[in-house]
Amino acid sequence: MMKTSFDDAKALIELSIQRCFGRDLVVMTSDGQPKAIRGYIKTQSVDGHQVKRLLTVSCLPTLSTIMLEGKRYSLSLSSPEQGKGQRDSQIQNVYILNLTQAGIKHDFSEF
């Protein structure tokens, strides 16, 4: 596959964003191996709830987790169901941080 001018421009934008906002982070993969990435955490309020997102150019394996401020979060890739989404980045991978809490089994809680 031949690289286009768009691909070059996209790579420059990704690099610029990560240099300005990114920091070195360590993600744990599902097999327990640490993976060093560069990314940044974006926190915003959605419908009165705080939502944290990890923006990175790295592709992370499913069931990866990250520790932030003493709390473990599972990472879920955010992507639009169809077409181009309004909130999701077209330049970077966006992962939703889901707080891992005691008492949760099989990704849901009894309460």
pLDDT per position as a tens digit, 39-53? 999 898 888 888 999
Mean pLDDT of 58-74: 94
* pLDDT value of residue 11: 80
Domains contained in the chain, number: 1
Q: Report the C-alpha gap between 52 and 103 in whole angstroms.
A: 21
- pTM score, whole prediction: 0.72
Q: Which residue range is the domain that position 51 belongs to?
A: 5-99
In-domain check, residue 105: no
How does the average pLDDT of the chain come out, rounded?
A: 83
Report yes or no: 73 and 95 within 8 Å, Cβ to Cβ: no
* pLDDT value of residue 82: 53
Kindly tell me if the per-residue pLDDT of 24 is higher than 80: yes
In-domain check, residue 66: yes
Higher confidence at residue 45 or residue 2?
45
